[in-house]
Structure 1
């Protein structure tokens, strides 16, 4: 019962941060229309979110066991609640930058704490993989809900309207509810730190993790994966609006298919990976992603504007391209679970810090590259380029699997009785 209350708190926290973090694509479209900024200028919002995530994670991840995971999550929720309240009170592009800066700082605290807490609750690799996939599935349900929540406040008939800012009052209330739920939930955090170690020693231990071949192959895989996911997720609403000629609100709603596919894929992967080894599953998923890119983008050629477009008359590409999320979904939770399960509990916080850093760098890089190519050429060229990082992940996962198996063999050899 106690674990169920903790999991409910983690799910609530991840749900609200899913909406805030993945609203970048929708907000990019809205600030272009509302404040008249360029695409390249709007693309920096990803950086305002992701760079603070990387910096804060690097500086504090190894120290969070000292602060306490519950306290870290409460601080993160308090920060974003305040930022959401400011958004509608002081409208402006700079306020939007401040919002994503706050979300980035808060999520750095929250993600390290949440992932480390999963390590405290899980008993064995299979349960860890199941919990992590379920958690990430809930995250994608939040992303899906976020698209529809934002679209409900968008005035498609007046592109310059600031009515969409009203969504932040709703988000502030959700953050406050998550704060109270966590506040009243007890959390046992023993065994999360090495007794007698100084803050400097904890920090150096995190840095030294990077010296392991398994770890640097892992962070490359994470970086490239997030580059793809954020590149597509952040710019899909704009792709729908400018390339597929959908109305603004419908462009945001159609992008929710991507989030729904990710949610379904991650929840389904939690069941599949209890029975099937992660490596062949991920290879099949990556090949399917490449096939969907090659199949869907030609369907977006030469589409003419249709003022009366609806869900029945929308271009087929609006439904096919977002399905890439179904196959993309299992990759991130699977490699994270494999990596964390290979480490003792007291190293989970430091390892998650490295995970968050490289995820943030990958997200910023993906959004900036996609936005720049989108502006210089068009959305089709930008999305065709996703084939390059998909190939890179296929290669990196081969070496990641070999490194994991070698580590398991060394552990087995050390545990075997002598003679």
Structure 2
């Protein structure tokens, strides 16, 4: 296999979907202005995106090895290319709903296919971890790019203007270019095929049986807690900046981009580090550093006075220090995912990724709901201090995960020649 070309295709796919998935907040704002949709109605776009991801992953993940990862990626890109074209051609709130429904369905196909393809090209566990972290880091680059790409097309002086819809011409071209790249790339998917001739129903039951393995449920718990903390902080940091650090609304969002940037940098750096170092001490150190960041920086957020003329140079130092937690948080999710997948035979990577997507979604939703409830009923300081509980639980579950991984002793990997990247 041409590994460089395959990895370029995977990175481009993730970049495209990072932009589309991260655009939901911007689109909610724009449909309110452009189509006069009330906030409550506009908020359903989040559900149109998230629910299809979990549902499609659950029912389709186990059958993708038979269907083919390359075919699944092409189908996903074709779906979102058509949906992005519909946005400027048929401008309506219903079209925006359809767009995110398509994005959710397509991303479920893409996530399972991309993660499973990594297992086909990686030489060993460290190589797998390096690729996974680089991929997730590039995803965060796409998330950051989304703000600037959409911002370029929004007419700030005329909020009701439909000029922002022109961004979808660019995105449809990007989807088409990525489709062409994947189509022209050769994928060797022999290692993904199930070892016997079971049917789709049997493959689905086999996916469910994965969950009874101690290795899998310890991993699922660790992944659940990791996403819970990430979403708890990521979803409520703008509100924390606004209500606790007394920053203006616009600046509160802009400062939050530091957190996203730290996630991107952290994952890109981890992609290099984890090719050389053992995963367990690296991830344990990251978790301990997360807890230290919470304990050292949150005390700096107390007693902040409101300043109507606050600027970047006069903002509280905590506004810049606390988002650095993203640097330490960044390697954990892709790191444990890589270790889990590289502990299984390659034909089980797709169903395992399906379970991962489902519990990641549950973790993200749980983290956001709990933090929002505590934020509203107690205070923002306590809500963020509360993240220490899942961080401690992560350290414990990671140790249990390590013990289970050691029992597998890397049996999933077989000697096979690969080109060097």
Short-chain TM bin: 0.7 to 0.9
Partner of 1:415: none
Is the contact made by 2:136 and 2:334 (CA closer than 8 Å) also made in structure 1? yes
1:329-344 correspondence to structure 2 within 5 Å? 329-344=330-345
Residue equivalent to 2:71:
71
Deviation at 1:256, TM superposition (A): 2.1
CA distance in 2, matches of 1:137, 1:332: 11
Whole-Å separation in 1 of the counterparts to 2:399 and 2:83: 42
Alignment of 1:13-32 (within 5 A): 13-24=13-24
Correspondence 1:136 to 2:141: no
Deviation, 1:104, is: 1.9
2: distance between equivalents of 1:26 and 1:286?
32
Aligned residue for 1:191, secondary structure, equals helix
Within a 5 Å distance, the mapping from 1:356-371 to structure 2 comes to 356-371=357-372
- 1:254 corresponding residue in structure 2: 255
Q: Provide the rounded CA distance (Å) in 1 between the counterparts of 2:303 and 2:163.
A: 32
The residue that corresponds to 2:108 in the other structure is: 108
* Equivalences for residues 207-218 of structure 1 within 5 A: 207-218=208-219
Give distance in 2, aligned partners of 1:160 and 1:371: 30
1:267 Cα shift?
A: 1.8
CA contact (8 A) 2:346 2:412 kept: no
Q: What's the counterpart of residue 122 of structure 1? A: 122
Partners in 2 of 1:7 and 1:213 — Cα distance? 32
CA–CA distance in structure 1, aligned partners of residues 300 and 129 of structure 2: 36
1: CA distance between counterparts of 2:329 and 2:283? 9
1:56 deviation in Å? 0.7
SS in 1 for 2:338: helix
**d(CA) in 1 for partners of 2:300 and 2:29?**
23
Q: Which of 36, 39, 60 is 1:37 aligned to?
A: 39
Aligned mates of 2:136, 2:117 — CA distance in 1: 14
Tell me if structure 1 keeps the 8 A contact 2:343–2:411.
no
Q: What is the CA distance between 1:283 and its match in structure 2?
A: 1.7
Alignment gaps of 5+ in structure 1 = 413-419
State the Cα RMSD in Å. Answer: 3.1
Partner of 1:290: 291
1:231-310 superposed matches below 5 A = 231-301=232-302, 303=304, 308-310=309-311
How far residue 78 of structure 1 moved from its aligned partner, in angstroms, is 2.3
Q: Distance in 1 between matches of 2:114 and 2:209?
A: 23
Deviation at 1:115, TM superposition (A): 0.8
Task: For 1:271 and 1:285, locate their aligned partners in 2 and report how far apart those are by CA, in whole Å.
Answer: 15
Displacement of 1:14 in angstroms is: 0.6
Q: 1:252 to 1:154 in 2, by over 3 A?
A: farther
**Kept in 2: contact 1:147–1:255 (CA 8 A):** no
Question: In structure 1, what is the equivalent of residue 316 of structure 2?
Answer: 315
Contact 2:222 2:397 in 1 (8 A): yes
Name the structure 1 match of 2:395. 394
3-state SS in 1 of match to 2:277: coil
The answer to whether the 8 A contact 2:343-2:410 is kept is no
Separation in 1 of the partners of 2:118 and 2:371?
33
> Relative to 1, partners in 2 of residues 1:149 and 1:293: Cα closer, same or farther, differing over 3 Å?
farther
CA distance in 2, matches of 1:238, 1:169: 33
